Chain A
Amino acid sequence: MGKIGLKKQDSSEKMTPDHSAEQAENSCDARLSVDIQKSLGKFRLNIQFEHDLGRGILGILGSSGCGKSMTLRCISGVDRPDSGRIALGDTVFFSSEDKVFVRPRNRGVGHLFQDYALFPNMTVRGNILAGMRGDKRDHSRDIDQLLHAFYIGDQAHKYPRELSGGQKQRTALARVFASRPSILLLDEPFSALDEYLRYQLEQNLFEYLEQYRGIVLYVSHNRDEIRRFCDYVLVVEDGKAISYMPVADLFESPWHFASARLAGIRNFSHAEKRGPREIFAVEWNTLLTTADAVPDDLQYIGVRENAVRILPRGSMPSPSGSEDGRAPVMSPGNRPPDWSERGNAFGAAVLRIVPGITADTAVLIPFNDGSDELFGKIFVTLGKTHLPLHAGDEVIVAIADDDIMCLK
Chain B
Amino acid sequence: MDLSPLWISLKVSATATAAVFLAGIFAAWLVVRINRGKIIIDGLFTLPMVLPPTVLGFILLLIFGRNGTVGRFLQSIGINIVFSWVGASVAAAVVAFPMMYRSVRAAFEQLDPDLIRVARTLGKKEGWIMRRIMIPNAWPGILSGTILAFARSMGEFGATSLLAGNIPGKTRTLSQAVWSAVQMNDRALAKRWSLTLIAISFVVIYLTNHVLNRDSSSGRLSLGTRIKQSFRR
Could you list which residues of chain A lie within 8 angstroms of chain B, going by C-beta atoms? Answer: 73, 76-78, 103-111, 113-115, 117, 119-122, 130-131, 133, 159, 161, 175-176, 179
Contact between B117 and A73, CB atoms less than 8 A apart: yes
Contact between A117 and B118, CB atoms less than 8 A apart: yes
Contact between A130 and B222, CB atoms less than 8 A apart: no
Query: For window 103-140 of chain B, which residues contact chain A by CB distance below 8 Å?
Result: 112, 114-115, 117-125, 132-133, 136-137
Contact between B115 and A105, CB atoms less than 8 A apart: no
Contacts of B137 in A (CB 8 A): 119-121
Contacts of B121 in A (CB 8 A): 76-78, 104-105, 107, 109-111, 179
Task: Report the Cα distance A370→B112, complex, angstroms.
Answer: 46
Contact between A111 and B118, CB atoms less than 8 A apart: yes
B interface: dominant SS: helix
Contact between A113 and B222, CB atoms less than 8 A apart: no
**Least CB separation from B120: chain A residue:** A104
Contact between A119 and B117, CB atoms less than 8 A apart: no
Contact between A105 and B125, CB atoms less than 8 A apart: yes
18 contacts between A and B (CB under 8 A): A78-B117, A78-B120, A105-B122, A105-B125, A106-B123, A109-B121, A115-B114, A120-B115, A120-B219, A121-B220, A121-B221, A121-B222, A122-B132, A130-B122, A130-B124, A131-B122, A159-B220, A179-B122
Contacts of B222 in A (CB 8 A): 121
**Least CB separation from B117: chain A residue:** A78
**Least CB separation from B114: chain A residue:** A117
Query: For window 209-233 of chain B, which residues contact chain A by CB distance below 8 Å?
Result: 219-222
Contact between A161 and B115, CB atoms less than 8 A apart: no
Task: Report the Cα distance A117→B120, complex, angstroms.
Answer: 12
Task: Report the Cα distance A133→B136, complex, angstroms.
Answer: 21
Partner pick for B219 among A73, A104, A119, A159, CB 8 A cutoff: A159
Closest 3 CB pairs of A and B: A117-B114, A78-B117, A121-B136
Q: How far is the CB of A403 from chain B (nearest CB, A)?
A: 44
Task: Report the Cα distance A120→B111, complex, angstroms.
Answer: 11
Q: How far is the CB of A76 from chain B (nearest CB, A)?
A: 5
Q: How far is the CB of B112 from chain A (nearest CB, A)?
A: 6
Task: Report the Cα distance A203→B89, complex, angstroms.
Answer: 62
Contacts of B122 in A (CB 8 A): 105, 130-131, 133, 175-176, 179
Q: How far is the CB of B137 from chain A (nearest CB, A)?
A: 6
Contacts of B219 in A (CB 8 A): 120, 159, 161
Task: Report the Cα distance A176→B121, complex, angstroms.
Answer: 9
Contact between B123 and A119, CB atoms less than 8 A apart: no
Contacts of A73 in B (CB 8 A): 117
Contacts of A106 in B (CB 8 A): 123
Q: Please, what's the 1-or-0 string for B171-193, where 1 marks a CB less than 8 Å from any CB in chain A?
A: 00000000000000000000000
Contacts A73-B117, A113-B118, A179-B123 supplied; 10 other A-B pairs, CB < 8 Å: A76-B117, A77-B120, A78-B121, A104-B120, A105-B122, A114-B114, A119-B119, A120-B219, A159-B219, A176-B122
Contacts of A179 in B (CB 8 A): 121-123
Q: How far is the CB of B224 from chain A (nearest CB, A)?
A: 12
Task: Report the Cα distance A233→B200, complex, angstroms.
Answer: 65
Given contacts A105-B123, A179-B122, contact A111 B117 (CB under 8 A): yes
Q: How far is the CB of A101 from chain B (nearest CB, A)?
A: 13
**Least CB separation from B129: chain A residue:** A105
Contacts of B136 in A (CB 8 A): 121
Task: Report the Cα distance A107→B120, complex, angstroms.
Answer: 10
> Of residues A110, A115, A122, which shows the largest number of chain B Cβ atoms within 10 Å of its Cβ?
A122
Q: How far is the CB of A39 from chain B (nearest CB, A)?
A: 15
Task: Report the Cα distance A117→B136, complex, angstroms.
Answer: 15
Contacts of A176 in B (CB 8 A): 122
Task: Report the Cα distance A176→B122, complex, angstroms.
Answer: 7
Q: How far is the CB of A62 from chain B (nearest CB, A)?
A: 20
Partner pick for A105 among B112, B124, B133, B220, CB 8 A cutoff: B124
Contacts of A104 in B (CB 8 A): 117, 120-121
Task: Report the Cα distance A111→B123, complex, angstroms.
Answer: 11
Query: For window 3-26 of chain B, which residues contact chain A by CB distance below 8 Å?
Result: none
